[in-house]
Amino acid sequence: MTVSPLEFLFPRKCPYCGKIIIGDRLECDICRAGFPQKPYIRIIPGGNECVAAFKYDGVVRDAIKIYKFYGKREFCKSFSAALAQVVYEYFGEPDLVTSVPLSKKRLRARGYDQSELIGREVGRLLSVEYMRTLEKIIDNTEQHSLSHEERKSNIIGVYKRLSGIRLNGKTVLIVDDIVTSGYTLSECCRILAENSDVRIICGTVASAF
């Protein structure tokens, strides 16, 4: 395999182990071979099903942190490919893909919405339209810094459905990077299902439980 001048100067690295990868691979062969054989399935509060490609620990946790906090947005390709595969295997093809949004303040600080990037790529891989359906109107305390009980109340009223969104009769996949308590996804499902005859399924790169 030939290495392009760009790859030579800026080699791409495996998101999980840091080894240099060439060609169109998204991760190295060793990490790829170690991917879980089965998806992680959860029922989140409120009863919606959530499928995750990985357990949130070890090299996957490190990779997601680097993706979110150190600007490695190219990691979204590997995460999305793994997620698209488990979504397709477990649920089949949705009609629409959406994602849990960041607040405007956090989006400005980070420069990208990590879950939207994954949602858009999952949509592209499944040949399904991606659409923004929600906005985060309150910049609440980050869920991961709170206790399980605090997370439940911390999320109420934080998200709003965008106007003009019609979901009737659709199966909608909502994507997030990680599921922990499930309250964030649960609240987003509740809002999207309001006054709609819609089936909402959830997909995350990793599950903390």
Q: Which stretch binds Zn ion (CB under 5 A): 20-28, 70-78, 153-161, 185-193?
A: 20-28
Counting residues that bind Zn ion (by CB under 5 A) gives 6
**Shortest distance, CB of residue 17 to Zn ion, whole angstroms?**
3
Asked whether position 14 contacts Zn ion by CB under 5 A, the answer is: yes
* Concatenated DSSP letters of the chain: -PPPHHHHHS-EE-TTT--EE-TT-SS-HHHHHTS-SS-EEEE-TTS-EEEEEEESSHHHHHHHHHHHHS--GGGHHHHHHHHHHHHHHHH---SEEEEPPPBHHHHHHHSS-HHHHHHHHHHHHHT--B---EEE-S-PPPGGGS-HHHHHHHTTT-EEEPTT---TT-EEEEEEEEESSSHHHHHHHHHHHTT---EEEEEEEEE--
Asked whether position 82 contacts Zn ion by CB under 5 A, the answer is: no
Q: Which stretch binds Zn ion (CB under 5 A): 24-32, 35-43, 73-81, 162-170?
A: 24-32
Query: CA-CA distance, 204 to 174, in Å (whole number)?
Result: 8
Q: Dihedral of CA 41/124/169/194: which sign?
A: positive
With respect to Zn ion, which residue has the nearer C-beta, 21 or 87?
21
**Shortest distance, CB of residue 75 to Zn ion, whole angstroms?**
12
With respect to Zn ion, which residue has the nearer C-beta, 14 or 206?
14
Contact with Zn ion (CB under 5 A) among 7, 12, 13, 17: 17
With respect to Zn ion, which residue has the nearer C-beta, 34 or 169?
34
**Greatest alpha-carbon span in the chain:** 55
**Shortest distance, CB of residue 58 to Zn ion, whole angstroms?**
12
Q: Which stretch binds Zn ion (CB under 5 A): 17-25, 89-97, 131-139, 177-185?
A: 17-25
**Shortest distance, CB of residue 167 to Zn ion, whole angstroms?**
38
**Shortest distance, CB of residue 34 to Zn ion, whole angstroms?**
8
Do 176 and 115 form a contact (C-beta atoms < 8 A)? yes
Asked whether position 28 contacts Zn ion by CB under 5 A, the answer is: yes
With respect to Zn ion, which residue has the nearer C-beta, 14 or 96?
14
Query: Residues in the site for Zn ion, rule: CB under 5 A?
Result: 14, 16-17, 19, 28, 31
